Amino acid sequence: MPSHFVALLLLASLAQAPGREESPYHETIERVLKLLPERPAQVVIVDPNQAGAEIRATLLRMEAFITKGGRVVYVTSHSEALRGALKGWSLHEYILASIVWHEMAHIEGADEIEAQLREEALWIRYVMDERVDPGDGMRHLSGLKSRRSKDKRVEQGDAVLTLQGPLLTATIAVIEPAAPLPKR
């Protein structure tokens, strides 16, 4: 029964989501997805300010997330990386791609530490391939690596935050990749 309820909520949110031509997010997310070795099944942009009060504060602290058992990468509309990518800033596009990659690792079952390591590995690849400025790339990598020493609460096995409340009413864009990219 709960899976039917979730499916109905998803269908309702998709019906309310703006079309491709109405959203400034689609072109940006398509550019970002092209930077990944593999594409997620779907990316959904959510506005924390439209979410229910019971989850709003949690969403405002996040750039992206997944839901337990889900295959969708959710990106919050206030994400600094998304905002920079919307302005066409290349570094932010790569940062957002690495964040999506991190969430995809969770979808595949990775805990928080493993997801961070996968995100860092992709970022190192961007730096080594000179896809990002080496100075900016190394500064960002340093920040990524420092997460584990700063957040003593992150332990092996941590991965998914369980959100309670009407998340899907906060949907402002749904991006389904036009065609899957071949694995690199």
Is 181 part of any domain? Answer: no
Structure tokens at 4: 């039917």
Q: Write down the pLDDT at residue 14.
A: 40
Give the pLDDT confidence of 111-151 residue by residue, as tens digits: 999 999 999 999 999 999 999 999 999 999 999 999 876 65
> How many other CB atoms are found less than 10 A from the CB of residue 179?
6
Percent residues over pLDDT 90 in the chain? 54
Q: Write down the pLDDT at residue 18.
A: 44
Is 61 part of any domain? Answer: yes
Query: Which residue would you say has higher pLDDT here, 19 or 82?
Result: 82
Q: Write down the pLDDT at residue 170.
A: 62
pLDDT at 45 over 90: yes
Please state at what angle helix 134-150 crosses helix 112-128, rounded to 10 degrees.
170
Residue 174, beta-bridge partner list: 44
Q: Write down the pLDDT at residue 28.
A: 96
Residue 75, beta-bridge partner list: 45, 64
Distance of CA 75 to the CA centre of its chain: 5
Task: Provide mean pLDDT across the span 171-184.
Answer: 62
Backbone angles phi, psi at 25, to 5 degrees: -80, -30
CA–CA distance, 30 with 14 (Å, rounded to integer): 18
Backbone angles phi, psi at 109, to 5 degrees: 105, 5
Is 120 part of any domain? Answer: yes
CA–CA distance, 42 with 180 (Å, rounded to integer): 11
pTM of the model: 0.77
Domain hosting 43: range is 2-175
Is 19 part of any domain? Answer: yes
- Per the CB < 8 A criterion, the answer to whether 100 and 73 are in contact is yes
pLDDT at 182 over 70: no
Is 24 part of any domain? Answer: yes
Is 53 part of any domain? Answer: yes
pLDDT at 58 over 90: no
- How much is the mean pLDDT over the chain? 79
CA–CA distance, 35 with 100 (Å, rounded to integer): 10
Q: Write down the pLDDT at residue 3.
A: 37
Is 182 part of any domain? Answer: no
Counted domains in the chain: 1
Task: Decide: helix, strand or coil at residue 171.
Answer: strand
Is 114 part of any domain? Answer: yes
